[in-house]
Structure 1
């Protein structure tokens, strides 16, 4: 596990990167997985990482597992990497935004 200072920085970085509320993320995961004929059960909607982010958002820092910490690092790194991407054609930008939203980050928010 990480030390207290590193955990504080990760906790802050994760909550800065994940700028959607748990309700917004859950709704996005359901909408993204819905199609014309079916819609998954809410607890099964979205990617495994998106579901894990949703679980982390509902936890206290003291309840985090090593797996939670790994996912938090992955999310912070992904958002940081994608934030440096230059604007590309609109379709690509929409795809990138939707990808980031599956892990709780809406790049259109400040």
Structure 2
């Protein structure tokens, strides 16, 4: 991965993740956060919840110290936020929807 690709991924990640590390950390502690998402067989934590914890770590890492693995995860986050965000939530109660909660596990609050 070259520097130009990393710059693009970093910019897209910063655009997609609109929650601060502290906001995301607090959110991940809620029952709503832990009640959504898909869990791999044999694991107890949903994929999105685990990703949220990784996002907090990435956001707290100096840009110069990010690894290629961090950039790969950042790209995954951007893809998820774009795909899932395009699906839209239920308009009746979007604020309290599983759709919103799932996106928030990935660091993106669509109500902002």
Please state which band the TM-score falls in when normalised by the shorter chain.
0.7 to 0.9
Q: 2:70 matched to 1:71?
A: no
- What is the TM-score of this pair, normalised by structure 2? 0.76
2:40 corresponding residue in structure 1 = none
Report the secondary structure of 1:47's partner residue: helix
CA distance in structure 2 between the aligned counterparts of 1:58 and 1:19, rounded to whole angstroms:
14
2:10 corresponding residue in structure 1 = 11
Shift of 1:89: 5.4
Seen in structure 2, the aligned counterparts of structure 1 residues 12 and 88 have a Cα distance that, compared at 3 Å, is same
Radius of gyration: which is bigger? Answer: 1
1:1-110 superposed matches below 5 A:
2-31=1-30, 32-33=33-34, 47-88=49-90, 90=92, 94-109=97-112
Provide the aligned C-alpha RMSD in A: 2.4
Q: Tell me, which stretches of 5 or more residues in structure 2 are unaligned? A: 36-47
Q: Tell me, which stretches of 5 or more residues in structure 1 are unaligned? A: 35-45
CA contact (8 A) 2:89 2:99 kept: no
- What is the TM-score of this pair, normalised by structure 1? 0.77
- In the TM superposition, structure 1's runs of 4+ consecutive aligned residues that sit over 6 Å from their partners are none
CA distance in structure 1 between the aligned counterparts of 2:88 and 2:76, rounded to whole angstroms:
21
Instruction: Count how many residue pairs are aligned between Structure 1 and Structure 2.
Output: 98
CA distance in structure 2 between the aligned counterparts of 1:74 and 1:52, rounded to whole angstroms:
12
CA distance in structure 1 between the aligned counterparts of 2:13 and 2:91, rounded to whole angstroms:
28
